[in-house]
């Protein structure tokens, strides 16, 4: 499995590819590289995954679906925010997100496959009401729940300090210490490194 990290306006977008799969995680801003990736891998099973419905993670998803036909998946509880420019924080930052809905709504604990990759979904609330992490081939994609030496803002719509602490404790106590963590912003880290940093 190949993981390519794109820094799009200081927000991470991930391109994941195998012989049979092509997955995009969080296409927040328009990028010719993401469009090219989906187009060049049209012979594979493809999917756009969204960790949470904030404007900087969802902004280009609708356009990419229209151009490539690739479906969009998101945690069920965050789907309404895709069509609410206040809840997805676009309005607060002067960004107009054209309303849309995901094709696939995911639930906590759900396991599904895209090509030859198995994807496990974990509801991790606290930054938004329905943000999720994706566990793919031993790698954890955490969106804005967990960063290198940090975690997501709890002051946005659906945010909760109590919930994000619960989510962090869940991650620290569920995944092996050497699990790579790919977050929505910043550099990659591991569960063990962050667990040690927070004294958990």
Contact status, residue 58 vs residue 80, Cβ threshold 8 Å: no
Average pLDDT for the chain: 96
In which band, very low, low, confident or very high, does the pLDDT at 105 lie, cut at 50, 70 and 90?
very high
DSSP string, 13-29: EEEEE-SSEEEEE---S
User: Which residues sit opposite 5 in a β-bridge?
Assistant: 14
Is the pLDDT assigned to residue 200 strictly greater than 80? no
Q: Tell if the pTM clears 0.95, that is, is over it.
A: yes
Residue-level pLDDT at 199: 76
Mean pLDDT of 108-136: 98
pLDDT tens readout for residues 116-128:
999 999 999 999 9
Measure the N-to-C terminal CA separation of the chain; round to a whole number of Å: 30
Domain boundaries, the chain: 2-197
Look up residue 150 and give its two tokens.
């940090």
Predicted pLDDT at 171 = 97
**Per-residue pLDDT for 130 more than 80?**
yes
Nearest one of 107, 125, 199 to 165, comparing CA atoms: 125
> What does the pLDDT look like over 175-188, one tens digit per residue?
999 999 999 999 99
Q: Is residue 198's pLDDT more than 90?
A: no
Distance CA 93, CA 105 (A): 26
Mean pLDDT computed over 13-41: 97
CATH superfamily of 2-197: Ribonuclease Z/Hydroxyacylglutathione hydrolase-like (3.60.15.10)
Range 82-86 average pLDDT: 96
Q: 72 - beta bridge partners?
A: 48
The stretch 151-160 carries a mean pLDDT of 93
Q: Which of 51, 62, 141 is nearest to 102 (CA)?
A: 62
Supply the pLDDT for residue 78.
Answer: 98
């Amino acid at each position: 499995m190949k993981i390519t990290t794109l820094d799009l306006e200081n927000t991470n977008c991930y391109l994941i590819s195998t012989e049979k799969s092509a997955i995009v995680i969080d296409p927040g801003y328009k990028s010719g590289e993401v469009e090219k990736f989906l187009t060049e891998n049209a012979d594979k099973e493809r999917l756009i995954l969204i960790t949470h419905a904030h404007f900087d993670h969802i902004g280009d998803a609708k356009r990419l679906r229209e151009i490539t036909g690739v479906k969009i998946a998101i945690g069920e509880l965050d789907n309404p925010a895709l069509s609410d420019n206040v809840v997805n924080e676009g309005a607060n930052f002067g960004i107009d997100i054209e309303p849309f809905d995901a094709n696939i709504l995911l639930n906590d604990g759900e396991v599904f496959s895209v090509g030859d990759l198995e994807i496990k979904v974990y509801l991790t609330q606290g930054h938004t009401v329905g943000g999720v992490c994706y566990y793919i081939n031993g790698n954890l994609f955490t969106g804005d729940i967990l960063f290198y030496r940090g975690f997501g803002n709890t002051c946005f719509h659906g945010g909760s300090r109590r919930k994000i602490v619960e989510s962090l404790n869940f991650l620290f106590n569920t995944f092996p210490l050497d699990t790579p963590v790919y977050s929505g912003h910043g550099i990659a880290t591991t569960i063990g490194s962050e667990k040690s940093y927070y004294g958990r």
